[in-house]
Structure 1
Amino acid sequence: MGIEGDNHLSKGASHEYIAALFIDVDEQNRGFGKMLLDHAKKDHSFLQLKVYQKNESAIRFYEKNGFLITADSVDPATSEKEYVMEWRQRMW
């Protein structure tokens, strides 16, 4: 399928955290990232992740897939500014 890297979910006290989602640059914009997110969404009602503020394409991708920016943060390992983004399952 051409996907490199993977989708890492770590369980928190009351929600799921996506630690990393990487798609090979040659395979981006082909729906693979959406497939990975949809797979995570089907088993969870809440997902959270962090993304560097300078990574505008990733921010747009997550927003397109229903994530909202909920907080600003700083990665302690790199001192990069980042956003906390969250997705909640709609209850209709």
Structure 2
Amino acid sequence: MFLSEEQINGLFVHPYRGIGRALIDHAKERHGRLELFCLVDSYPAQRFYHARGFDISDDKSNDRLAFDEYVMT
């Protein structure tokens, strides 16, 4: 995971081991407000982030990717 200011970038971990949850918890302790981008078609990631208190706040087309993303805060 890369954390720049209040934005989480690139959280890629093996699922079901608690590593992602621990990283998100650590980031939340350091920053009051966090934002991240989640692929629209990545339902497991959306469920993970929703369970950690994130909600979809916007959707965004990404010119660099062939996929659209949700902004989650």
Q: Quick check: TM above 0.5?
A: yes
* Structure 1: gaps (5+ residues): 1-6, 87-92
Secondary structure (helix, strand or coil) at the match of 1:58 reads helix
Match of 2:7 in 1: 17
Greater relative CO, 1 or 2 (CA 8 Å, sep 6+):
2
What do you get for the CA RMSD once the two structures are aligned? 0.9
Displacement of 1:79 in angstroms is 3.3
TM-score after normalising by structure 2: 0.94
Q: Residue type matched to 2:12 in 1? A: F
Larger radius of gyration: 1
Secondary structure (helix, strand or coil) at the match of 1:83 reads strand
Match of 2:41 in 1: 54
Match of 1:4 in 2: none
- 4+ residue runs of structure 1 moved beyond 4 angstroms? none
Residue identity over aligned pairs, in percent, reads 40
Across the two proteins, how many residue pairs are aligned to each other? 73
TM-score after normalising by structure 1: 0.76
Task: Encode CA deviations 1:46-88: one digit per residue, 9 max, x unaligned.
Answer: 00000100000000000000001000101220131110000xx
Q: Residue type matched to 1:74 in 2? A: S
